[in-house]
Structure 1
Amino acid sequence: MTGFLALPALAELDLEYREETLEPEVQLKAYENRTVEEYRINGNLYMIKIKPKFGPAYYLVDDTGSGELDLRRTASGRDIVIPRWTLLTW
Structure 2
Amino acid sequence: MDSEVAALKAHIDAIVPTLATKADIEVLRAEMHKMSAEGYRWMVASMVGMFIGFGGLYFAANRSLEERPAPVQAQPQPQQPIIIYLPQPVPAPQK
TM-score of the alignment, normalized to the shorter chain, above 0.5: no
TM-score by length of 2: 0.25
Task: Choose between structure 1 and 2: higher strand proportion.
Answer: 1
Greater helix share, structure number: 2
Q: Which structure has the bigger radius of gyration?
A: 2
Question: What is the TM-score when the length of structure 1 is the normalising length?
Answer: 0.26
* Relative contact order, higher structure (CA 8 A, sep 6+): 1
